[in-house]
Structure 1
Amino acid sequence: MSCKSCATGGCGTQRTASTTASDGSPAVAAVAGCSSGGCSTGGCNKLNSFDWLSDIAMPGKGYDVVEVKFKGGRKEYYRNVHQLDLTTGDYVVVEMQSGFHLGAVSMQGELVRLQVKKRAVKINDDTKVIHRTATAKDLERHEQAVLRDLPALYRSREIVRELKLNMKLSDVEFQSDNTKATFYYSSEERVDFRELIKMLAGEFKARIEMRQISLRQEAGRLGGIGSCGRELCCSTWLTDFKNIATSAARYQNLSLNPAKLSGQCGRLKCCLNYELDTYMDALRDIPTIEKPLETQKGRAWLQKTDIFRRLMWFGYSSESTWHPLPIARVVEILELNKRGIVPESFDVLTPIGEKEPIVLAALNSDLQKLDAKYATRNTKKKKKKPKGGVSPGGNSPKPTTNGVA
């Protein structure tokens, strides 16, 4: 069963898993859905999960809880009390608080048990159930409900502007039976939308639910392309949003430029936390410089720290040249300064544990090569020939009179 966002019908491409038939001969079980990798647009792969336990036979009775995915990547868990034979990607009719809704099976089996345990979801008799596999009539009604989402969003934004409410509507989701509409909005302050609900209920003839989401969740529902050139993490795989502070940028020596550090949601980028642990581990052995290094040449102030090359660059106030020092040498100079000893200089260094000195010019060899490349350009200008085709320094022809030289 393919979805409407597939340009090639790739969702119907089936992924096979080897099983064994009753007679002992090898059989093939078809696994449908977008997880087969046939979707060319990627729109139906949003927050998709690969079931790596699908071809592993588990002892005993299988887990009867199924993960169902809805619009915007929202996932919920339902009990398969009727023991329906489901595959990934099948559309099912599930129970809701009022009426029913249509969703796609995104995961089943033992992997759902692990997800339920990880997210601390309580499964009991009150957990909603799956009624049946969706029929052609159910799919037709669901498509009609989906077609109402975009016009309803435009109309509801007009009503919000008329009521002068400080809120931003980002998405609308109609239930498949058209009895309920969920409006997702974001706002930085408390909003009194009692009058809004009355107007929306009269406009769309359905039960209205207002659900507030954060700006990160809003960006995940809308999607987009990040500054890295790839789809937003929050709209493809990221589900848990952790707190991100500006200290994460400071630890990584990033420029504190809000335009570069902010994502499409207007908050700090989630990817600032991806490499933070690596930087924190690398910074453990790097000393904290609270005052300049004392040398006989003068005071050297810390200018830059190369974390992974384990170099710290210092510069004198009397000159513009920066001098790289290994971490061991910086610690050694700090210890000497604490004891009142002032070293002569650090132009040529012999780090602790190494026999050969490190010449500072060798550390800047790559920069010197780059400068030499552009310094050797040919700046000589070609001499322009004078008009008349006479070479410079040559004898000019004598003027002629009546054709006689």
Structure 2
Amino acid sequence: MGCNSCASSTGGQPRGCKNNGTCGTDGCNKLTVFDWLSNMSLPSSMEPFNAVEVRFKNGRKEFFQNPETITLSIGDIVATEASPGHDIGIITLTGELVRVQMKKKRIPLKTEALPKIYRKASQKDIDIWQSYRERENAIQKRSREIAIRLGLQMKISDVEFQGDGSKVIFYYTAEERVDFRELIKEFARAFNSRIEMKQVGFRQEAARLGGIGSCGRELCCSTWLTDFRSVNTTAARYQQLSLNPQKLAGQCGKLKCCLNYELDTYLEALESFPNTETKLFTEKGTASCQKIDIFKGRLWYAYEKEGMNWHELTAEKANEIIEQNKKGVKPHALEEFVLEIPEDEKKPFDDLVGQDSLTRFDQPKQKSKSRSRNKNKKKTKSKSGVSTAPSKSTTRPNKNRKPSRDA
């Protein structure tokens, strides 16, 4: 998806365009949208939609109207209306797909209510914008020092300058409510700009900063995920996952959003399973569920007095016993319904690669040279029948050694 500037340089190091999220081709930016209507022409009686989508730092996108009908295309840098002054952004969508995006985000389609696009950004506007963006890291470090000095329980995660430098937006996260009135006064004196504080959630912070997840891919929230739904530990329980917070939590410290991806499929599969709290009543005794396997469609039951002896049943057999119990009928024992696995299906352990040796990556042990020398001496002795006397420096005399027949 990247442009030619993302190729490797000498030594195999990634070169990169060093635009820091402002790639002109919009090929390596977060939350990109493919314009699948770009090669389609509108009917002659239909006017094009007079609105565009503009992206700012860290994937922040807003919709603007184009009152002067300036010819715009994806990747153009434009000066947009802001309060106060103007801001600089990059066009990400034009045409009818903007209408679709506004409907998806439930924004009214009245373009008159949208802020305006002033003009295409000149080289002077771009130079000023880049100069302010280069100051963001230093200002972020200075702002954190001021917040720590004032003793505020907050974390300033990101700083964003407006295109003309008239306003600075500080994004922060906090567990509780923060009184930052004194902090704003300190920032105004230190940075000589209008200050705006925006509190974001921990998931939104991870989406803005980005990163690599435990799966080895980029975070979903920073690439394509836009709606952050609540994630509960019940989602992990339905999927038979161990409740380990270190494995279930993402980089934001909250439960991973991907726990909700397959939850509907698991819930649909569990509809054919009986409730795990339901007990099976037989003449031999009462049995309770110990474990279920959703993929194989099987359950394991054990009698109350024989907790270590499990009986494997299919979901159909378990439902059949429950129906008999509702009618007042008790089967003789669970052994009548136990699933019998043929011996052909009982295969030894074999991984996906087909190599079941756990020591295949260990280095082979090297034979010691002394042992190989002793073996060679024994071979020469057996062939000739005469043993050579060992040197005094290498061997010690053995008192218990028996004399040879030749001697």
TM class by smaller structure: 0.7 to 0.9
1:247-262 matches, cutoff 5 A = 247-262=234-249
Match of 1:14 in 2: none
Whether 1:104 aligns to 2:90 is yes
Whether 1:399 aligns to 2:403 is yes
Distance 1:4 1:230, change over 3 A: same
1:138-153 matches, cutoff 5 A = 138-153=125-140
TM-score by length of 2: 0.79
Whether 1:95 aligns to 2:81 is yes
Give the SS at the match of 1:55.
coil
| Offset, 1:286 | 1.4
Residue segments in structure 2 that go unaligned for 5+ positions in a row: 9-14, 18-22, 359-370, 388-401
Give the SS at the match of 2:63.
strand
Match of 2:311 in 1: 323
Match of 1:360 in 2: 341
- State the alpha-carbon separation in 2 of the partners of residues 81 and 363 from structure 1: 75
Match of 1:34 in 2: 25
| Offset, 1:366 | 3.8
Moved more, 245-254 or 293-302: 293-302
Whether 1:305 aligns to 2:309 is no
Whether 1:76 aligns to 2:48 is no
Deviation readout 1:257-283 (Å, 9 max, x if unpaired): 111111110111111111111111111
Match of 1:17 in 2: none
1:382-393 matches, cutoff 5 A = none
| Offset, 1:211 | 0.3
- State the alpha-carbon separation in 2 of the partners of residues 368 and 91 from structure 1: 59
- State the alpha-carbon separation in 1 of the partners of residues 79 and 37 from structure 2: 25
| Match for residue 115 of structure 1 among 92, 101, 122 | 101
- State the alpha-carbon separation in 2 of the partners of residues 290 and 226 from structure 1: 36
**Which amino acid is 1:48 matched to?**
T
Higher strand share: 1
- Is the 1:324–1:360 Cα contact (8 Å) retained in structure 2? no
Match of 2:364 in 1: none
| Match for residue 253 of structure 2 among 266, 285, 298 | 266
- State the alpha-carbon separation in 2 of the partners of residues 195 and 321 from structure 1: 68
- Is the 2:5–2:16 Cα contact (8 Å) retained in structure 1? no
Give the SS at the match of 1:77.
strand
| Offset, 1:314 | 2.0
Residue segments in structure 1 that go unaligned for 5+ positions in a row: 12-31, 351-357, 376-383
- State the alpha-carbon separation in 2 of the partners of residues 313 and 361 from structure 1: 18
Distance 1:124 1:90, change over 3 A: closer
Match of 2:275 in 1: 288
**Which amino acid is 1:344 matched to?**
H
- Is the 1:70–1:103 Cα contact (8 Å) retained in structure 2? yes
Equivalent residues, number: 357
Give the SS at the match of 1:320.
coil
Deviation readout 1:353-404 (Å, 9 max, x if unpaired): xxxxx5235596245779xx789xxxxxxxx99968559xx9997638xxx8
Distance 1:314 1:363, change over 3 A: farther
User: Between the two proteins, what is the percent identity of the paired residues?
Assistant: 47
Deviation readout 1:63-111 (Å, 9 max, x if unpaired): 0100000001000000011111111111111110101111010111111
- State the alpha-carbon separation in 1 of the partners of residues 142 and 327 from structure 2: 75
- State the alpha-carbon separation in 2 of the partners of residues 363 and 232 from structure 1: 44
Distance 1:4 1:90, change over 3 A: farther
- State the alpha-carbon separation in 2 of the partners of residues 330 and 396 from structure 1: 79
Match of 1:231 in 2: 218
- The RMSD of aligned alpha carbons is 3.3
Distance 1:340 1:75, change over 3 A: same
TM-score by length of 1: 0.79
- State the alpha-carbon separation in 1 of the partners of residues 138 and 132 from structure 2: 11
Give the SS at the match of 2:112.
coil
- State the alpha-carbon separation in 2 of the partners of residues 340 and 385 from structure 1: 78
